[in-house]
Structure 1
Amino acid sequence: MSHSTLDPESQVPLTALLEAMPGGFNAIPDIVARRAAVAEMLASVEVPDNPGVVKSDRTVPGPDGAPDVAVRIYRPANASGAAPGMLFIHGGGMVLGSVAGEDPTATMLCDALGAVVVSVEYRLAPEYPHPAPMEDCYAVLTWMAKSADELGVDPDRLVVYGGSAGGGLAIATAMLARDRGGPPLRFMMPIYPMIDDRNTTTSSHEILDVGIWDRAGNEEAWGWYLGDAEADGYAAPTRAADLSGLPPAYIDVGTVDLFRDEDIAFAQRLMAAGVPCELHVHPGAYHASETFAPDAALSKRIWAGRVDALRRALG
């Protein structure tokens, strides 16, 4: 795909990243070194403290027979009464990312929505392939519902949010809640979700050298996430036969995103299954462009749409 299709404002920081790191993060072959490079980049970004948000770190019970799960809890400083609750699932292709890396986004959502946000430090592949990351997320969701009084959360206003890998895990967590009779979810917001291991769509063949989550990196990540197992509908939600009964959804993706076609198709399937779904496809946006270029007009439109949808869903 020609880079001329990228939003010009959003392309500026991407060009700078690729000049400093040719090939992008996925060009670093060792996963431990790759994680360290991502963490170093994120740590270099200065983010002012937000006095409207109070943060705390703790662990909560993990899946049966598995370790406890670390979480970071974000509370509105001036909360009164039961607030909405958001399970926040970071991205990173199931192999990268952390609670700390997406701290600014979780903080912003807590402040903008007046919600209690619980961000999950789920286990990562390849050390912990599917279903470990998904089960960690579901364990935290069930803990949130059981601990609603302690958290100051309204259990009838629970939402799940995640971008990229976090988007795929958000859908999988919602499926588990449906299938296991778990906590009811008011809404789910999977942002440009990673949901198809097969890499057969047109966009998966187009996005080869943008520098942010290109085809080779996606194939590698899926291989690590699945390990020796075959993908099922929880690992790769596009494979799920039944999408009925899932919570209303909001999905957005860019035209220059590898996940464009699988996400559009999934949104259409949700609609066909009777699940209300709002879909936005942003011309010129690459994968996570609103994170790399937060001051771009396109990025501001993307965030405005998300926050508006969450406010409407949470009442």
Structure 2
Amino acid sequence: MPAREVNEDGAGTGTVRAHPGRFGMFASLPLPPPDIDGALAEIAYAFEELHADGVVVRTRSHGVYLGDPRLEPVLAELGRRGAVVSVHPASPVCGERSALGRPRPMVEFVFDTARSLTDLNFAGTLAHHPGLKAAVPHCGGALPVLAGRIDGFSRLFMPGEAPVPDAVAQLRRLHYDLAGPVARRVVRHRARLGAGHRLALPDHRRRPDPVPPPRPLRKPMPSEDPMPSEDPMPSEDPMPSEDPMQEEAVPQDAPSFPAQPPAPPDPARLPLPPPARPAPGVRLLRGAVYAVPDGSRPLETDLWLPEPADGPLPVVVFVHGGGWRTGLRDDPGPRFRHWLPGPFARLAGAGVAVVCPDYRLSGEARHPAQLDDLRALLVWLRDRAGELGLDPDRVVLWGESAGGHLAALTALTLGAAGAGAPAVTVRGCVTWYAPTDLTRLAEDHPPGRFDPRDPASREALLLGAAPAAAPGPARDASPALRVTPAAPPFLLLHGTEDELVPCAQSDRLATALRAAGVPVEQVRVPGANHLWLGLAEEEVERVFARTAGFVTRHCARETDGQEDNPLGIRSSEEP
């Protein structure tokens, strides 16, 4: 049965509907053999339409293990969404023979779990995508016992391999299913698992009722550990391991480890994701971690890079919209989703690096956390500019809707008191239909359309209180009220029929920029609603071309001049 049918059937079952707080649904993906496009489409459908709680994958499907490079786009997307991924064990390719005629779940499942997770570790998947929440069965199979051995062999016998993340450290990032009888030797290694990552998931369909242990056939020798009558598992072999890499068993009463959470990794030192090539001449690094805010999920960014690159590249940072409370970092809006190649690939193909970051949404943190995130991104770009081939002195910020608000606020406050020295040189800023003065939204909307006292408005969720109740934070978060003569040039595009963010909001920012002597191009797009709805396709093309032309002029090197269009992007007149 296709994955779509299975998922729709699971989401529509009476149990899930009747008890939404007790039962959920894990979606299946069309992975055997790897159907990457189908899997990505099913991920979007499962989470956005069926409201799945996670996905389930097998340790191996048709000979393909989870560390296989072909699965990287799927795991990257799951990591970007912070998805829970339940890993279900399978038998190895040679399971029919290796099981020696005995039940394969008895031994083969636990070793195939270890094999698949080891493959993930060597592929660097867990390090590249820290948002991935992998729940592994049977306490990780044999992996907790083998972790030290894997580390030792990777260092002693694989010196030519790329650096492999520490296996023991990666173990602490997984979540463990302890359902069913668990061998005492694995439980004694619970210190390696890390507190808070042990799950008790029901496994009633596979686990038989516990049976009493068999009577011993002989009297235990003094050196043996007699089996307690209340323990249904046989006692383990007391003989010491002959493997010098085998770590000594942790006493059963040892405290959980670590006592203190480990420090987050330095994003400037984390490995970059493996590249994909979504279009000719374009290299895509999807899901690079640029910041790990305290108490929050890791923040990731996508990088669309020209290939080959001609010297250090100019950079466009695109900030997604969504009312500060939702949105995807690689989505410039519904009018562009059918473009092939898409807007980012077009810019990259013309010689511009495009950076699309996550930021903390209003349900995760209040203003100015989002501003802090974008500043952290600019620092990360500066720190890794040499490695990525970027020019930190040629940066343009670009955002749509709430993302345009954040892009403008970032561009206007980089040199503000308390913000520190600018990490990069921002040459310009483009906003599409962005709110710019949160203190005057009620004036700009038709009467009764916007209530500044509403604590549930998008703006209130960003600020932590309704704009009328928090005038100080509302002013602080208003780009039109943060303009200084040091601001970079701006391009403001806004539809005249915008029902969500009135066009008057862009008027207010344009007026403030002109009063401060800052170059500004303002384009009022006739007939356009929010998200460029209501525009003909050719008009949408012209909006993008106008944006690309601004990027061309302001990312050009000083020696390139501004009339020759050195990036080769076709510009246009005002829509």
Q: Which bin holds the TM-score, normalised by the shorter protein?
A: 0.7 to 0.9
Are 2:420 and 1:190 aligned?
no
The residue that corresponds to 1:137 in the other structure is 374
Aligned positions of 1:229-268 closer than 5 A: 230-240=472-482, 242-257=483-498, 258-268=501-511
TM-score normalised according to structure 1 size:
0.74
**Cα–Cα, structure 1 residues 219 and 206, in superposed 2: closer, same or farther, change >3 Å?**
farther
The residue that corresponds to 1:270 in the other structure is 513
C-alpha separation between the residues in 1 aligned to 2:542 and 2:320? 21
Deviation at 1:39, TM superposition (A): 5.2
**Cα–Cα, structure 1 residues 55 and 49, in superposed 2: closer, same or farther, change >3 Å?**
closer
Contact 2:304 2:348 (8 Å CA) reproduced: yes
Between the two proteins, what is the percent identity of the paired residues? 30
C-alpha separation between the residues in 2 aligned to 1:134 and 1:310? 22
C-alpha separation between the residues in 2 aligned to 1:67 and 1:139? 14
Q: Secondary structure of 2:414's match?
A: helix
Are 2:302 and 1:72 aligned?
yes
Deviation at 1:100, TM superposition (A): 3.7
C-alpha separation between the residues in 1 aligned to 2:396 and 2:375? 12
Q: Secondary structure of 1:205's match?
A: coil
C-alpha separation between the residues in 2 aligned to 1:142 and 1:149? 13
Matched pairs, number: 266
Q: Secondary structure of 2:415's match?
A: helix
Q: Secondary structure of 1:101's match?
A: coil
Contact 2:317 2:355 (8 Å CA) reproduced: yes
Q: Secondary structure of 1:139's match?
A: helix
Q: Secondary structure of 1:97's match?
A: coil
Deviation at 1:175, TM superposition (A): 2.7
C-alpha separation between the residues in 1 aligned to 2:448 and 2:528? 12
C-alpha separation between the residues in 1 aligned to 2:455 and 2:400? 15
Report the structure, 1 or 2, having the larger strand content.
1
Contact 1:201 1:262 (8 Å CA) reproduced: no
One-letter code aligned to 1:111 = G
**Cα–Cα, structure 1 residues 37 and 203, in superposed 2: closer, same or farther, change >3 Å?**
farther
C-alpha separation between the residues in 2 aligned to 1:134 and 1:106? 23
Contact 1:168 1:195 (8 Å CA) reproduced: yes
Cα deviation per residue 1:169-209 (whole Å; 9 max; x = unaligned)? 1112113312132122111112221222234465422795x
Are 2:393 and 1:156 aligned?
yes
C-alpha separation between the residues in 2 aligned to 1:287 and 1:250? 17
| Aligned residue among 318, 328, 349 for 1:98 | 328
C-alpha separation between the residues in 2 aligned to 1:69 and 1:256? 34
Deviation at 1:167, TM superposition (A): 0.8
Contact 2:436 2:508 (8 Å CA) reproduced: no
Contact 2:437 2:475 (8 Å CA) reproduced: no
Q: Secondary structure of 1:178's match?
A: coil
Which consecutive residues of structure 2, in runs of 5 or more, have no partner in the other structure?
Answer: 1-43, 50-76, 78-276, 557-575
C-alpha separation between the residues in 2 aligned to 1:59 and 1:151? 14
Q: Secondary structure of 2:527's match?
A: strand
CA RMSD of aligned residues (A): 3.2
Q: Secondary structure of 2:357's match?
A: strand
**Cα–Cα, structure 1 residues 308 and 235, in superposed 2: closer, same or farther, change >3 Å?**
same
Max Rg structure:
2
Give the structure, 1 or 2, with the largest relative contact order (CA under 8 Å, sep 6 or more): 1
Report the structure, 1 or 2, having the larger helix content.
1
C-alpha separation between the residues in 1 aligned to 2:328 and 2:462? 16
